[in-house]
Amino acid sequence: MIDKIRNYMTLVKFSHTVFAMPFAFIGFFLAYRHAASELSIRLLLLIVLCMVFARTAAMSFNRLVDRRIDAINPRTRNREIPKGIITPRATAFFVAANSILFMVTTFFINRLVFYLSPIALAIVLFYSYTKRFTYFCHFVLGTGLALAPIGAYLSVTGRFSLLPLLYSTIVLLWVSGFDIIYSLQDEQFDKTERLKSIPARFGAKKSLIIASVLHTFVVIIVVFIGVWFNFDYWYWIGAVLFTVLLVYQHRIVKPNDISRVNLAFATTNGMASILFAVFNILSIIF
């Protein structure tokens, strides 16, 4: 049983939840500051469950849809489905179960979130098909993760607001940028198999420039939020750390040397997300 659980957690790269989850926490605490109501641990747990179920459904669906591509890609041929560790049928059941659990969980949050849940689910599942027809697949992934802060905010307030939408824009551009960097690993494979990605279309050098431009806009929005909404020094500590880590990942990945892509993708961005969220929440609370 433990091995089976471990296999499914590896299948969906559960550790990568760290990218969007901290931004959901920002949206949650920001909503309570705006709503000026009592903090609900129950609601926080429901939001966490929604995040876990939605991401698990999306990632397992991606593995299911891409199983034949993964089987011929040297980088991915050892994944659970190509190796026969988890069957496609079991994966399909896993996708369905997590999708249902996601929508059921939103029902206990509020009516608006429940009504919007099929749209959110459609976006995160749709990403798995995009490499087959558009070079903008990275932005679809970014859009899926960008639902985290605004979704958490809606869960508390039941209404839209500019500030959480700006945080969602940060996530959209940030994730799109680092996914472009991550996709450098499959540049030649994508070209051979006629799959769409920015590295396959523009090459490594131009792709890194595009990722840098996206992350530059991220920094601009981070600074704008701090100035326009008059955040305190806690926010600015988080903003500086987040920016430094963004710059660092661009320093360690070069067009002719992508050996540290995984360090840039997982470790650096995971740390950036957590640190930015911690100092944002400190700023919101205090």
> Tens digits of per-residue pLDDT, 100-118?
999 999 999 999 999 999 9
Q: What pLDDT does 132 receive?
A: 96
Q: Which CA distances in Å does 27 have to 44, 92, 115, 189?
A: 11, 31, 19, 38
> Is it the case that residue 133 has pLDDT exceeding 70?
yes
Q: What pLDDT does 15 receive?
A: 66
Whether 187 contacts 199, CB under 8 Å: yes
Q: Is the pTM of this model over 0.85?
A: yes
Would you call 158 exposed, middle or buried from its count of C-beta atoms within 10 A (0-12, 13-18, 19+)? middle
What CATH number is given to the structural domain containing 273?
1.10.357.140
Q: Which helix (H) or strand (E) holds 43?
A: helix 41-65
If you average pLDDT over residues 175-189, what whole number do you get?
97
If you average pLDDT over residues 129-146, what whole number do you get?
97
Q: What pLDDT does 12 receive?
A: 72
- Nearest 5°: phi and psi at 257? -150, 100
> Is it the case that residue 91 has pLDDT exceeding 70?
yes
> Is it the case that residue 223 has pLDDT exceeding 90?
yes
What CA–CA distance (Å, rounded) separates 166 from 224? 9
Q: Which residues pair with 257 in a beta bridge?
A: 254
> Is it the case that residue 8 has pLDDT exceeding 80?
no
Residue range of the domain that includes 122:
2-285
* Chain-centre distance for alpha carbon 70: 21
Q: Residues with Cβ < 8 Å from 158, sequence gap 6 or more?
A: 110, 111, 112, 113
Q: What pLDDT does 14 receive?
A: 65
Nearest-Å Rg of the Cα atoms of the chain is 19
Q: What pLDDT does 13 receive?
A: 74
CA nearest neighbour of 119 among 134, 102, 136, 137: 102
* Chain-centre distance for alpha carbon 206: 23
Domain count, the chain: 1
